[in-house]
Amino acid sequence: MTTIERPAGTRRIRVTPGGLATGVALAVLAIVALWALFPSWFSGYDPLVGDGSQRFLPPSPEHWFGTDRAGRDTFARVVHGTRATIYGAVIGTAIGLAVGTVAGVTAGLLRGAADSVLMRLVDVLLALPGFLLALCVVSAFGPGTAHVAIGVGIGAVAPFARVARGEALRVVQLDYVDAARICGTRPVGLLFRHVLPNSAGPIVALVPTELGATILSIASLGFLGYGAPPPRPEWGTLLSEGRDYLANAWWLTSLPGIAVLVTVLAVARVGRLLQQRFRI
């Protein structure tokens, strides 16, 4: 019997469950990003126009996610609806990141009365459920992806502010910050040149977690009818459209729901990896 020996100097590649899960999560996020940027690459069907003779067709090689009540390809609507949902989630997370980081770092740097005022405002935001706050904003300004993103972004300010303040309080106690202050550096210079760059790690690690929560909030508001107006596809709108046909067309809600679930789980996996990296 012939024995095949491994060449000297080579290493056996070990695939761990955690590494495999991370690889799958990154692949899912790459596909979702391509759906949002180039939806026509993945489906040749029109998401707005259907064929009345092909209503309620089950999933098949021709229609991967089946068809809806108007004969429209559900997979095409999921792919084209990714842009509205993901763009809204990115904008909402960016609002929370920018406003929350500046408020938290400023409170940690100035301390005293500024810290008390800013943190009391943050406590008010924390006392209100983020989804309820977003719902109030959308109810006041009307439905639409932009208004939903703003409402969700306001709700995301508080978590970023708390983390940013904690990191700022840690950084301002370091020697090089005291040296910069003694040398006459103004508070704005301390904020953007010393405190903020050295507080960025845990704040960035929080982004995927809030992004996943934002995707769920936008899909939920779309399900309630506050998202993109029909017939424009959006993940939450697709879930709402299919709820009346669960008995005979389960794919209209189940398959878009699985797409939302897999995306949120992938974002959560990346967020967990970043949190382990920065030990938060």
| pLDDT tens column, 188-220 | 666 667 677 777 778 888 888 889 889 998 888
| pLDDT tens column, 92-140 | 999 999 998 888 888 887 777 877 888 888 888 888 877 888 888 888 8
Share of the chain above pLDDT 90, in %: 14
Average confidence score pLDDT of the chain: 82
pLDDT confidence of residue 52:
80
pLDDT confidence of residue 2:
47
Q: Where are the domains of the chain?
A: 36-43+50-278
Could you list the beta-strand ranges (E) of the chain: none
Q: What is the sign, positive or negative, of the torsion defined by CA atoms of 7, 11, 17, 19?
A: negative
Cβ atoms 242, 256 nearer than 8 A? yes
pLDDT confidence of residue 264:
92
Q: What share of the chain is helix, strand, coil (3-state, %, to 5)?
A: 70, 0, 30
42: left (phi over 0), alpha (psi -120 to 50) or beta: alpha
Q: Is the pLDDT of residue 8 over 90?
A: no
Region 224-234 average pLDDT:
81
Cβ atoms 56, 249 nearer than 8 A? yes
**What DSSP letter does each residue of 106-168 carry, written as one string?**
HHHHH-HHHHHHHHHHHHHHHHS-HHHHHHHHHHHH-SSHHHHHHHHHHHTHHHHHHHHHHHH
CA atoms within 13 A on the CB side of 155: 26
Confidence band of 280 (pLDDT split at 50, 70, 90) = low
Q: Is the pLDDT of residue 79 over 90?
A: yes
Q: How many CB atoms lie within 10 A of CB 162?
A: 20
Question: What b/e readout covers 70-91, taking b as 16+ CB neighbours within 10 angstroms?
Answer: ebbbbbbbbbbbbbbbbbbbbb
* CB-based contacts of 84, cutoff 8 Å, min separation 6: 145, 227, 228, 232, 233, 234, 235
pLDDT confidence of residue 203:
85
Q: What is the C-alpha separation between 245 and 8, in angstroms, rounded?
A: 62
Q: Is the pLDDT of residue 225 over 90?
A: no
Q: What is the C-alpha separation between 218 and 239, in angstroms, rounded?
A: 12
Give the pair of three-digit tokens for residue 68.
Answer: 């809806």
Query: Hey, which CATH number is domain 36-43+50-278, 2.130.10.30, 1.20.1440.130, 1.20.1250.20, 1.10.3720.10?
Result: 1.10.3720.10
Confidence band of 1 (pLDDT split at 50, 70, 90) = very low
Confidence band of 78 (pLDDT split at 50, 70, 90) = very high
| pLDDT tens column, 140-163 | 887 888 888 888 888 888 889 888
pLDDT confidence of residue 34:
93
Cβ atoms 104, 161 nearer than 8 A? yes
Confidence band of 174 (pLDDT split at 50, 70, 90) = low
pTM above 0.85, yes or no: no
Region 226-250 average pLDDT:
84
- Backbone φ and ψ of 128, nearest 5°: -95, 130
pLDDT confidence of residue 259:
92
Whole-angstrom CA distances from 241 to 2, 89, 108, 232, 247 are 63, 21, 47, 12, 13
CA neighbor of 104 nearest in space, from 28, 52, 157: 157
Q: What is the C-alpha separation between 49 and 98, in angstroms, rounded?
A: 39
CA neighbor of 233 nearest in space, from 35, 76, 45, 117: 76
